[in-house]
Chain A
Amino acid sequence: MAKRSGGPSNTEIDMTPMIDMTFQLITFFMFVMNFSEAEQDDRIQLPSSQLAKPADGVIEKPITLQLTNAGSVIYAGELVAVRDIGSYLEREKTLMIDENREPNSATIIVRADGRAKTGEVQDIIRICQEKGFERFALRAQYDDRR
């Protein structure tokens, strides 16, 4: 705070600490920001596992199917019945063939809720197999408790 002599006193606030703190906050938010395009839905409570280590590389163009507790599949943000995912996968398959990619090279990420029925996960896998997909990644939350 500085005062000038002569005339009415003009109070100046020292902005330096506030600017310092604000810049530090921005740096913090920039570091913790997640730019990944991984599909994650809050409605899914993934089961946890110590061995579900995050993948080293990025899975190229995966298809993510998220199974809710109620037995519906979240595909591209839409709620779909398990029996109806075949038509969506058929569309994915057509797109892949157009891009000269084989369906068996694509990975289907299955993000299933821990409370969902195992049979419904198996149904999803079976439908995917019928459409020519054979690589699956069963996603779980990484539990780092040792």
Chain B
Amino acid sequence: MARRSSSGLTDKVEINMTPMIDVVFQLMSFFMCTLKVVSPEGDFDIRMPIAAAAAAAPDDQQVPPVRVKLTAGPDGSLAAIAMNGTPVADFDELRKRIIGLVGADSGPNSLAEKTEVEFDADYALKYVNVVKAITAVSGKVENGQVVELIRKIKFTPPKKG
């Protein structure tokens, strides 16, 4: 702390700013170095117990599962989509078919809530196509709002070859 005499009547106190500026710059360097830009991520929740396939006994309340077959091309790209054995042109059409099958209502005890989709994808198919297919059957975005469709999703066992 340094003192300066001005006119002899009042003293002006000067604060030594150097330590504070040092600390502030070190803090800034720390935050800059530890900054990690993270893009938002979300999940598709799936519950798949191992015994589910074997234990899936016919039930009056249970709606038969919708089977979506995803066929891979030679390079792992998507070659064909089929829903319950019927060819589907693209994921938009798949969503329309799903809405046609279960309706737009996804509330409690709705058909959409009871229905399960089983994905049968080729081993070599690129995973991005499966996520697109899950997105198509899970819902749609209407006027910025998410309208949910089918939430029960499962996969067939992997078939290598």
Contact = CB atoms under 8 A, between A and B. Distances in A.
Interface of A: 4, 15, 18-19, 22-23, 25-26, 29-30, 32-34, 36, 38, 40, 46-55, 67, 104, 109, 112-119, 121-123, 125-126, 129-130, 134-142, 144, 146
A117 B127 contact: yes
Interface stretch (B24-32, B82-90, B100-108): B24-32
B81 interface: no
B42 A118 contact: no
A22 B25 contact: yes
A146 B128 contact: no
A109 B43 contact: yes
Interface stretch (B45-53, B61-69, B110-118): B45-53
B123 A118 contact: yes
A49 B43 CA distance: 10
28 contacts: A19-B21, A29-B28, A33-B34, A46-B41, A47-B127, A54-B40, A112-B127, A113-B127, A114-B128, A115-B128, A116-B126, A117-B127, A118-B121, A118-B123, A118-B125, A119-B122, A122-B155, A122-B156, A126-B157, A129-B50, A136-B46, A137-B46, A138-B134, A140-B42, A140-B43, A141-B41, A142-B40, A142-B42
Nearest to A131: B50
Find the residue from B44, B134, B155 having the highest chain A CB count within 10 A.
B44
B44 A47 contact: no
Nearest to A116: B127
B3 interface: no
A129 B49 contact: yes
A33 B158 contact: no
Interface of B is mostly: mixed
Nearest to B33: A29
B48 to A, nearest CB: 6
Interface in B103-161: 121-132, 134-135, 138-139, 141, 144, 146, 155-160
Contacts of B1: none
A112 B126 CA distance: 10
A32 B35 contact: yes
Contacts of A29: 28, 31-32, 35
